[in-house]
Structure 1
């Protein structure tokens, strides 16, 4: 079985950060994602996908993501249900984030992701920010012998 979602969109508002009774951080936000095709009126429709991030990833999202900023989210789709005050069953479909890439604004080039152990790594800077690019000078050919190539 496979349940993976990869999304790229813009935040509709700043993430909301809360804490459970046990102290676990949870952030919620919505990504607006334009559809590729137009409707019968020639307009592009937009889907609004609810995203949930937990623990350290939630805190990083709350600190670095802002309304209107682009973000890429990788996670799994989850459907849950509850009974509202009127006794009706309500179903909620959302994406539980495992990895969030911050794609614009102050957090440009940073990401946060869960490791395989379930812990969350901190935000990382983009390694190709211009300062660490060994090929940035572009001052001619690069001398590499065939023995140095991995293929």
Structure 2
């Protein structure tokens, strides 16, 4: 049996980076800052997120820097070769399957939770 599931709740680090492909597919990249539960919570953990399809379009339209979101997906490791040095590189990426918009416009008032599943569209 194998299991690769990641659940995160945090604040978006910057506005979405959205790409539309000739094939009609949509890809969105985000960064997410997640606070670690420790006494000396000085720095958040940062995660790179990748969203596709309708979920990517929702993120492009409704997610902005500082927005509180929840995501569910899987961990993948992206590999490439550095163009200048030829050194093999890799980075972890969270492939998001489900996106939840949390909070309200001000994030201080109680608001509704909006859920978006890539598999629902």
The bucket for the TM-score relative to the shorter chain is 0.7 to 0.9
What is residue 28 of structure 1 aligned with on the other side?
29
Distance 1:68 1:96, change over 3 A: same
2:83 to 57, 82, 85: 85
Distance 1:43 1:72, change over 3 A: closer
Q: How many equivalent residue pairs? A: 114
Q: How many angstroms apart in 1 are the aligned matches of 2:91 and 2:9?
A: 21
Tell me the alpha carbon deviations over residues 112-143 of structure 1, each in whole angstroms, 9 at most, x when there is no partner.
Answer: 1023xxxx43xxxxxxxxxxxxxxxxxxxxxx
Question: Pairwise CA RMSD of aligned residues?
Answer: 1.7
Tell me the alpha carbon deviations over residues 2-61 of structure 1, each in whole angstroms, 9 at most, x when there is no partner.
Answer: 0000000000111111023423100000110111114xxx34321110100001110111
What is residue 70 of structure 2 aligned with on the other side?
72
Correspondence list, 1:122-137, <5 A: none
Higher relative contact order (CA 8 A, sep 6+): 2
> When you count strand as a share of all residues, which structure comes out higher?
2
Q: How many angstroms apart in 2 are the aligned matches of 1:45 and 1:15?
A: 22
1:114 to 104, 107, 118: 118
Stretches (4+) displaced over 3 A: 105-108
Please, which runs of 5 or more residues in structure 2 have no aligned partner?
A: 106-110
8 Å Cα contact 2:101-2:115 kept in structure 1 = yes
Whether 1:5 and 2:9 are equivalent positions in the alignment is no
Tell me the alpha carbon deviations over residues 67-113 of structure 1, each in whole angstroms, 9 at most, x when there is no partner.
Answer: 10100000000001011212111102110000000003349521210
TM-score norm. by structure 1 comes to 0.69
Q: Give the stretch that moved more between structures: 28-37 or 83-92.
A: 83-92
- Aligned-partner SS, 2:11: strand
- Aligned-partner SS, 2:44: strand
Q: Max radius of gyration: which structure?
A: 1
Distance 1:93 1:63, change over 3 A: same
